[in-house]
């Protein structure tokens, strides 16, 4: 339980342990829709990402790990994704992505706890989708011996189709479905898509924009699923 004494201290002089306690308390309120203060969590992020404090970063991972696991378990692609990696590995990848994109980056600022959580969740979503794209043909973790050298096994082709069907079911537009098929089922990169399908996609920038919309759609579906649980 957090101490009233520590909660009255200036943020700059609070030690990491006290800051973590306050942050955990406020996250609990945030989850249940109660009034909360985000200054403790934001101070923790500031020390970890701006000051590059390694201890603060470890505490960030500890404090938000349960939240990340909850997002992972409510994600519409969880079952397909866990064919290739464990939940814990996806969460670890997401934290790594988040830190690389934000540490020392003056362009990234978190004015609120909600903004920081949104960035964390986007990092998890990106880690999950990129792993699916890379592993859907089992380049990294074959489930059985391939039918022919250099070709995916029947079992893996079935897994890849299942991954694609889950993604496709989350996307309403035919153009987004087509791009998702090329990205996540065929495992093509944006430049390869432009080269192979110039009549459909002529610019890499357009593919990146549509890819971001796909990510946002999948994250929105994950939010709806979590709210319905």
DSSP 8-state secondary structure symbol assigned to residue 152:
-
Say yes or no: 118 and 210 in one domain. no
Q: Single out the residue of 9, 100, 113, 10 nearest to residue 49, CA to CA.
A: 100
In a domain, 184, yes or no: yes
Q: List CB contacts of 114: < 8 A, sequence separation 6 or more.
A: 30, 38
Say yes or no: 127 and 174 in one domain. no
Higher pLDDT, residue 92 or 169: 92
State the Cα–Cα distance between residues 133 and 89, nearest whole angstrom: 16
Residue 32 to residues 35, 89, 220, Cα–Cα distance (Å):
9, 27, 20
Say yes or no: 59 and 161 in one domain. no
Its sign, for the CA torsion 50, 56, 57, 62, is negative
State the Cα–Cα distance between residues 90 and 111, nearest whole angstrom: 26
Q: Quickly tell me which residue has 């079911």 as its tokens.
A: 169
Say yes or no: 112 and 159 in one domain. no
Say yes or no: 130 and 164 in one domain. no
Residue 60 has pLDDT above 90, yes or no: yes
DSSP assignment of 180-213: HIIIIIS---HHHHHHH-TTT---HHHHHHHHHH
Of the three residues 102, 135, 168, the one that is the final residue of a domain is 135
In a domain, 183, yes or no: yes
Say yes or no: 185 and 75 in one domain. no
In a domain, 141, yes or no: no
Count of structural domains, the chain: 2
State the Cα–Cα distance between residues 137 and 158, nearest whole angstrom: 9
Mean pLDDT of the chain, nearest integer: 78
Contact 216, 61 (CB under 8 A): no
Question: Residue 105 is part of which domain span?
Answer: 4-135
Say yes or no: 128 and 165 in one domain. no
Q: Of 53-57, 90-94, 142-146, where does mean pLDDT reach its minimum?
A: 142-146
Residue 17 to residues 10, 31, 55, 81, 152, Cα–Cα distance (Å):
14, 21, 10, 35, 49
Residues 1-28: tens digit of each pLDDT: 444 434 455 777 789 999 999 999 999 8
Residue 149 has pLDDT above 50, yes or no: no
- The C-alpha angle 37, 42, 46, rounded to 5 degrees, equals 160
- With 0-12 / 13-18 / 19 or more C-beta atoms within 10 angstroms meaning exposed / middle / buried, residue 104 is exposed
Say yes or no: 24 and 121 in one domain. yes
Say yes or no: 33 and 103 in one domain. yes
């Amino acid at each position: 339980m957090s101490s009233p004494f520590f909660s009255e201290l200036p943020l700059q002089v609070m030690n990491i342990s006290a800051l973590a306690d306050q942050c955990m308390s406020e996250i609990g309120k945030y989850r249940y829709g109660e009034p909360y203060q985000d200054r403790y969590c934001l101070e923790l992020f500031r020390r970890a990402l701006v000051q590059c404090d390694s201890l603060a970063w470890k505490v960030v991972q500890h404090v938000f790990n349960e939240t990340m696991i909850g997002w992972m378990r409510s994600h519409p692609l969880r079952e397909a994704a866990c064919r290739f990696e464990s939940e814990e590995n996806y969460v670890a990848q997401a934290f790594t992505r988040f830190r690389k994109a934000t540490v020392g980056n003056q362009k990234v600022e978190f004015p609120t706890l909600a903004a920081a959580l949104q960035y964390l969740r986007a990092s998890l979503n990106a880690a999950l989708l990129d792993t699916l794209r890379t592993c859907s043909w089992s380049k990294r973790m074959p489930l059985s011996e391939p039918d022919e050298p250099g070709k995916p096994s029947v079992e893996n082709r079935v897994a890849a189709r299942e991954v694609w069907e889950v993604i496709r079911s989350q996307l309403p537009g035919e153009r987004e479905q087509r791009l998702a098929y090329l990205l996540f089922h065929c495992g093509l990169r944006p430049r390869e898509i432009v080269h192979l399908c110039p009549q459909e996609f002529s610019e890499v920038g357009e593919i990146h924009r549509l890819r971001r919309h796909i990510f946002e759609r999948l994250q929105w579906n994950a939010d709806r699923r979590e709210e319905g649980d």
